[in-house]
Amino acid sequence: MLDFNKPYLTGKEGHYIYQAVLSGKISGDGMFTKKCHAFFEQRYGFKKCLLTTSCTDALELAALLIDIQQDDEVIMPSFTFVSTANAFVLRGAKIVFCDSRADHPGMDEDQVEALITPRTKAIVPVHYAGVACDMDKIMALADKYGLYVIEDAAQAIDSFYKGKDGVKKPLGGIGHMGAFSFHETKNIMSGEGGMLVVNDEKFINRAEIIREKGTNRSQFFRGEVDKYGWVEMGSSFLPSDIIAAFLYAQLENLDDIQKKRKQIWDAYYVALKPMESKGLFTVPVLPDYATNNAHMFYLVFNNLAERTDVIKKLKDSNIWAVFHYLSLHKSPFYTDKHDGRDLPQTDRYTDCLLRLPMFYELDPTVVIDFFKKL
Amino acid sequence: MLDFNKPYLTGKEGHYIYQAVLSGKISGDGMFTKKCHAFFEQRYGFKKCLLTTSCTDALELAALLIDIQQDDEVIMPSFTFVSTANAFVLRGAKIVFCDSRADHPGMDEDQVEALITPRTKAIVPVHYAGVACDMDKIMALADKYGLYVIEDAAQAIDSFYKGKDGVKKPLGGIGHMGAFSFHETKNIMSGEGGMLVVNDEKFINRAEIIREKGTNRSQFFRGEVDKYGWVEMGSSFLPSDIIAAFLYAQLENLDDIQKKRKQIWDAYYVALKPMESKGLFTVPVLPDYATNNAHMFYLVFNNLAERTDVIKKLKDSNIWAVFHYLSLHKSPFYTDKHDGRDLPQTDRYTDCLLRLPMFYELDPTVVIDFFKKL
């Protein structure tokens, strides 16, 4: 069976874990956590990076930082992972779901303004498949209405947005905060793992406090206060330095990993794009303001039946391809909380989108051959 | 400098991490997570074990499971780690702090009943230093008033309570739920890490759902439902299987680790107990219903000045000893939320308790010699 995903080892993960253990400190914020923070801050110019145990937790930290209160409204796509919504629901927010674009599963930026009310507190754009949302439009709305923007950059490592000013900006570094995932299905991974990027400096101090169980321990260790205590509500967001050690080995090989994934992605694109004319599926569209980080290669079929048929045939050919997500506005948990609006593009991607195998060590030939013979 | 704590490697941690990676699945709930769950369920008879990224997260999962609502009251000691309180504060609870015992830093069980009101939802006994609270008294109150009991067993691995029925019960397995920590300072550790033990079967199904981001994914993989979706508010509590692999290597050596730690603890006790007569400090008291898991050896001094003086002298002798906790009811965050009751024992332990170095590879002679010469 050809796997859908296979975690890739660069070779130094075990060595770095051993180093972390020898350092005598493998709880959170050890030497490799600091190395990972420095890597991201230097490479992408992020103001403040904070590793977390998951992207879910990074989003929860963001929700605490913007002080979400009961019945505050948060606008996000319905076609996303449950954690995007859960993080804000846990704080009492009402989720206002936005439909996807017709040409791309990302949130339709042009539909956001109509969803803003006096209770709206934040917009959470999801950079689906690592492809940028049109951040100029979203940031303009945030400015106009005084909203926070939390980028769900779970899939968006090493991907960029080039807006009207022509400057290439790293995803996760544009909104007030950005959340990344290092789950094993991601380009760079540590099994489970995540990171919050804080771009608005006013949040940095509280981010450190909330992440350290609501204590000012970070300030204490920098000598800024003479004892530390419980100063705010918080949680434990720190991953073990074992996780950071693993992640750092991956980060050192980021360029190699990205190069290889782009080769695979391009091979898919070159082979499958011409097949669009047969009318069975379409391949991904990249807006001209977005770069491609080769996180995912997906096809969009005409309907659920045709997708189901292809999944079955792939399985019969020993190829494991998977679909996601299920429209959150129609989920058992949220259907009676949703305001009833129809979100047709979301439902279309729910029924019709299929992800092809995508990992560093993949030879895509067998998948491409399958579609040639289809 | 003699460290206060030093993480101990049993030798197989790296090997198991390598195995986890080779398995092709290092996200949550992989092969080593299952091995850890089985270990605990078999050794201690726990009904359901669920690894989490920290004890903090295990407590948060418990708070979600008992459905804490705004202004629900939760009774717990003030002399505890901030996470005990944060987990419930995050859900809107009011913390009602109970004083410590005169003979032990654990919560004074005899003061709990007076703190119960119609808004009380749960009692959270903390088994300080791995020494059991008097659970018969606490469970009787829970029965009488219909309250939940969440054991904070962060320090209490492999420790037991023998109540009126004469049966030795593992801590964490007595209340409705129990939360354990595998932080690097604990007997068994994985850097950061934790576990929720669910003893009341009615919580098991929802525990799995909330831990899997509010989805019924666990049921799906067992074939109990034909698709999975968002069915409830949830979060991501799963640690990477890298963490579980590390932890499993420790668990395989639990008996050896416990034996060694008890030798160190006993050496401290035998040497320091006779020095109590000098009037400078007292050594730990173990109630006859509690076993000793040798998590911690602490001294209680007469006042802050005398403790401060000894810490300084220890430091001058290159021995690192630490104090904790700071009374939560007097913390910057909670002082104006506390009901104003004086908690004199809590304040006494805050000022007077000192933890001595305690780890597997420790030779306690140098510390004992220090006190002999004091």
Distances (CA, A) of B76 to B82, B107, B109, B170, B327: 11, 7, 10, 20, 12
Q: Is the pLDDT of residue A22 over 90?
A: no
Confirm whether the ipTM is greater than 0.90. Answer: yes
Verdict on whether the full-model pTM lies above 0.95: yes
Q: Is the pLDDT of residue A82 over 90?
A: yes
Give residue B24's Cα distance to chain centre.
Answer: 32
pLDDT of residue B18: 86
Mean pLDDT on A74-96:
98
Q: How far is B323 from chain A (nearest CA, A)?
A: 12
List strand residue ranges (DSSP E) for chain B, in order: 48-52, 73-77, 94-98, 120-123, 148-152, 160-162, 168-170, 177-181, 194-198, 281-282, 298-301, 353-355
Q: Do domains A13-252 and A254-373 have the same CATH topology?
A: no
**Torsion of the alpha carbons at A350, A354, A360 and A366, rounded to the nearest 10:** 170
Interacting residues of B161 by C-beta distance below 8 A, sequence separation 6+: B132, B133, B134, B135, B168, B169, B171, B174, B289, B290, B291
Taking the CA of residue A115 as centre, how many other CA atoms within 13 Å lie in the half-sphere pointing to its CB?
A: 29
Alpha-carbon gap, residue A132 to A291, rounded angstroms? 7
Contact A191/B6, CB-based, under 8 Å?
Answer: no
Contact B26/A7, CB-based, under 8 Å?
Answer: yes
CA nearest to A254, candidates A28, A54, A36? A36
What is residue B346's three-state secondary structure? helix
Q: Read off the amino acid at residue A133.
A: C
Structure tokens at A227: 């004892």
Contact A82/B230, CB-based, under 8 Å?
Answer: yes
Q: Name B73's bridge partners.
A: B94, B120
CA nearest to A239, candidates A53, A60, A62, A16? A53
Q: How far is A287 from chain B (nearest CA, A)?
A: 30
Q: H or E element: which one contains B215?
A: none
Contact A214/B7, CB-based, under 8 Å?
Answer: no
What's domain B254-373's architecture? Alpha-Beta Complex (3.90)
Structure tokens at A134: 């049109």
Contact B184/A26, CB-based, under 8 Å?
Answer: yes
pLDDT-wise least confident of A159-173, A226-240, B32-46, B93-107: A226-240
Q: Read off the amino acid at residue A128.
A: Y
If contacts are CB pairs under 8 Å, which of residues 170-199 in chain A contact chain B? 183-185, 189-193
Contact B240/A192, CB-based, under 8 Å?
Answer: yes
Closest chain B residue by Cα to residue A92? B91
If contacts are CB pairs under 8 Å, which of residues 207-236 in chain A contact chain B? 213-215, 227, 229-236
**pLDDT tens for residues B210-243?**
999 999 988 888 888 877 899 999 999 999 999 9
Q: How far is A326 from chain B (nearest CA, A)?
A: 7
If contacts are CB pairs under 8 Å, which of residues 18-37 in chain B contact chain A? 18, 20-21, 24-28, 30
Mean pLDDT on A80-98:
98
Q: Is the separation of the CB atoms in A371 and A272 below 8 Å?
A: yes
Q: Name A123's bridge partners.
A: A75, A149
**Gyration radius of chain A over CA positions:** 21
Mean pLDDT of chain B: 96
Alpha-carbon gap, residue B277 to A185, rounded angstroms? 62
Using a CB-CB cut-off of 8 Å, the residues of chain A touching B238 are 54, 192
Q: Is the separation of the CB atoms in B27 and B175 below 8 Å?
A: no
Interacting residues of A306 by C-beta distance below 8 A, sequence separation 6+: A280, A352
pLDDT-wise least confident of A19-28, A291-300, B196-205: A19-28
**pLDDT tens for residues B300-342?**
999 999 999 999 999 999 999 999 999 999 999 999 999 999 9
CATH number of B13-252: 3.40.640.10
Closest chain B residue by Cα to residue A233? B86
pLDDT of residue A227: 76
**pLDDT tens for residues B264-301?**
999 999 999 999 999 999 999 999 999 999 999 999 99
Using a CB-CB cut-off of 8 Å, the residues of chain A touching B230 are 82, 85, 326, 328, 331-334
Alpha-carbon gap, residue A148 to A121, rounded angstroms? 6
Structure tokens at B298: 């602490």
pLDDT of residue B369: 98
Domain ranges in chain A are 13-252, 254-373
Give residue A307's Cα distance to chain centre.
Answer: 25
Query: Of B230, B236, B242, which is closest to A331 when you measure between CB atoms?
Result: B230
Asked if B60 has any chain A CB less than 8 Å from its own CB, the reply is: yes
Q: How far is B143 from chain A (nearest CA, A)?
A: 30
Alpha-carbon gap, residue B87 to A213, rounded angstroms? 9
Structure tokens at A55: 């992207």
If contacts are CB pairs under 8 Å, which of residues 83-102 in chain A contact chain B? 83, 85-87, 89-90
Q: Is the pLDDT of residue B55 over 90?
A: yes
Closest chain B residue by Cα to residue A20? B191
Asked if A13 has any chain B CB less than 8 Å from its own CB, the reply is: yes
* Burial status of residue A336 (CB atoms within 10 A of its CB: 0-12, 13-18, 19 or more): exposed
Asked if A6 has any chain B CB less than 8 Å from its own CB, the reply is: yes
